[in-house]
């Protein structure tokens, strides 16, 4: 079964850090671009970051550039998102998604909630 499972979310104070993980199974992880997408409470989907199959090409949304770092470990079939200098506006459910190249996102993980609050 093709599956993505996120973990690592939680409550963090403004200015704090958190690392999210996304464990993949059921497909050839290293062949897929991987993305992080977030959704603030009651809002729509917003793309955050993307990494290609071997980790050599990375992109970020302007809103997180310089604060978030995406990475992957193909030996562990796991995607990561290191989030530093967190702000209240980073509060959201974070989803990981797989893409066959520059394509649509499928599958998606179930999401992990990040709450930034004092």
Partner 1 sequence: EIVMTQSPATLSVSPGERATLSCRASQFVSTNLAWYQQKPGQAPRLLIYGASTRATGIPVRFSGSGSGTEFTLTINSLQSEDFAVYYCQQYNNWPPWTFGQGTKVEIK
Binding interface with partner 1 (CB under 8 A): 35, 44-47, 50, 59-61, 95, 99, 102-111
Phi-psi region of 91 (alpha: psi -120 to 50; beta: other; left: phi over 0): beta
CB 47 to partner 1: min, Å: 4
CB 95 to partner 1: min, Å: 6
Residue among 113, 103, 105 at smallest CA distance from 2: 105
Rounded Cα–Cα distance for residues 106 and 116 (Å): 28
CB 73 to partner 1: min, Å: 22
Report the residue number, 44 or 118, with the smaller CB distance to partner 1: 44
Cis ω for the linkage preceding 10 (within 30 of 0): no
Contact 8, 113 (CB under 8 A): no
Report the residue number, 32 or 95, with the smaller CB distance to partner 1: 95
Report the residue number, 50 or 72, with the smaller CB distance to partner 1: 50
CB 56 to partner 1: min, Å: 15
């Amino acid at each position: 079964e093709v599956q993505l499972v996120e973990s690592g979310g939680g409550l963090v104070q403004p200015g704090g850090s958190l690392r999210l993980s996304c464990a993949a199974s059921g497909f050839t992880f290293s062949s897929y671009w991987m993305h992080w997408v977030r959704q603030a409470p009651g809002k729509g989907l917003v793309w955050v970051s993307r990494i290609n199959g071997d980790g050599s090409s990375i992109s970020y949304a302007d809103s997180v550039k310089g604060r978030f770092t995406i990475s992957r470990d193909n030996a562990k079939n796991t995607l990561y998102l290191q989030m530093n200098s967190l702000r209240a506006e980073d509060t959201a459910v974070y989803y990981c998604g797989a893409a066959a190249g520059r394509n649509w996102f499928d599958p998606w993980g179930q999401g992990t909630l990040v709450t930034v609050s004092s």
